[in-house]
Structure 1
């Protein structure tokens, strides 16, 4: 087939035009497959102290040396690893977050995104085009979250993965929004509590409530931070029917999981529990009305294949909020792929300067 450079050169000189680039794009799925294999074997952990031969790493990871060499060779083309003249591989700066033992590790996030619950449905996206719906239930016999409820191992992959993805974004998002100095913030569907912890650290005058299903709340990590002592509590329930009362109600990476009608039910529950003058903060990706690359567009297709939800535009959020009795007041960008969509009660007098 030739190297990528050879194919690109052939196309540039009148060969197959853009065909070579499309073939390279079609082969793109091999990289995350190799990335997953390396993450599962904890290869980065075993290279953290310096270069080692594939045989040495294979002995430490119970893998095949020849196969490991081939995986490392591909990942080295992406700058995650490097190879010296003696055939030893080293961990590069770009691969540090693949380690499991460093702050900002995304290993669990990679394992979640490449898990079969996302991988297999994505491979059958043609089904989505034919039916307009998710293919997840055809493969796993149950809807996404029902499948997790019966499979504790897969559920742990999901929740640990979400915590890893959130770990690198929670602080920047909490710092990007001007939270009030006092009051109660409720993290609705807050998982293990990483975002709530970041908000409470950024705003020392706030108290927080972590709200989710009982089996999810049971795995919270709020108690690990002495700076949050006596400033948080947990609550269990179904956010489609009831939400604890608060001045700030957070919905981070929640609405994109659900169809519009389900989102409206959830937002109405939030509206009923919103204290006077309070705000609902939807923290999600906002798709811009242009064709520039954005992670939201990739996530949107994962949602289409595996769940029932979608990523949304500014106007999509405005319409959802209005139907739930809320008024979009502004959209705050953050240093991450997510934005903070702020809403207040629709019958509350608007503040000057709102959008």
Structure 2
């Protein structure tokens, strides 16, 4: 009898061991903007959490960022959630790690996939979504990023540069060679900024990144400012801009654009972020909008323009006229709603 009981017990244990165990899951939270809760992206850095159920993993940070990079689901989009991230960026995560109070997120270079994310408002949205998602997943107050193991290109894309805030773009935590520590500055007269050789001529739209009145040098990042049908056609041809389209009261999912309009009737396209430094002529025609009054430009001085550039929270969008010799003869502020 004891033998039979032992055999029966062994059989039960064997069957139990061979029975498939249901896949374990965990819930992660990712953060997107929401056009219903934040209409017109009034606050570029505002985000709202959504929960995703994913396979259980010890790498909560990686799982969370991977879900974020896939963008909002169809159901989430229907509820107003929106993001730069989509199926086009779903495979962009190369790796994550956490050291002390800092998380490191290494991405494939997505600058050509979501070029408008480098604008001032666009970068604020991108960093808020990435940062908040990574911070809550890894429980760290600080997050740094890289493209293909190199932080420099990531921050250059967002027009931030290498500073103490991002560890001077040190690639070592991402697996790259240690960055050379910044040299101790010596007391010497500031050098004159270098003029960038340019192929620009005629009228161009650009973001002003700096203006040196004493040296008469203007630094700009040239963009394309599209409006009306041109903006609508460009947005329809590039899925990254589909969230800017409203079609018959709903979103745009490709195809015919009849009945569609673009948010605020304009689109800023920055396909190749690059800062150029150009000389301005002594009699350069500078005109600015006299905020808070709107919306016609008025003549102003170079000194007032320099002060305005320094005070701007976001880069100033202007129309500039470049002479054949590469000098800037006209700078007019462009109004955007």
**Class of the TM-score when normalised by the shorter of the 2 chains:** under 0.3
When normalised by structure 2's length, the TM-score is 0.24
Determine which structure has the larger strand proportion and give its number: 2
For the pair shown, the structure with the greater C-alpha radius of gyration is 2
Higher relative CO (Cα under 8 Å, sequence separation at least 6) belongs to: 2
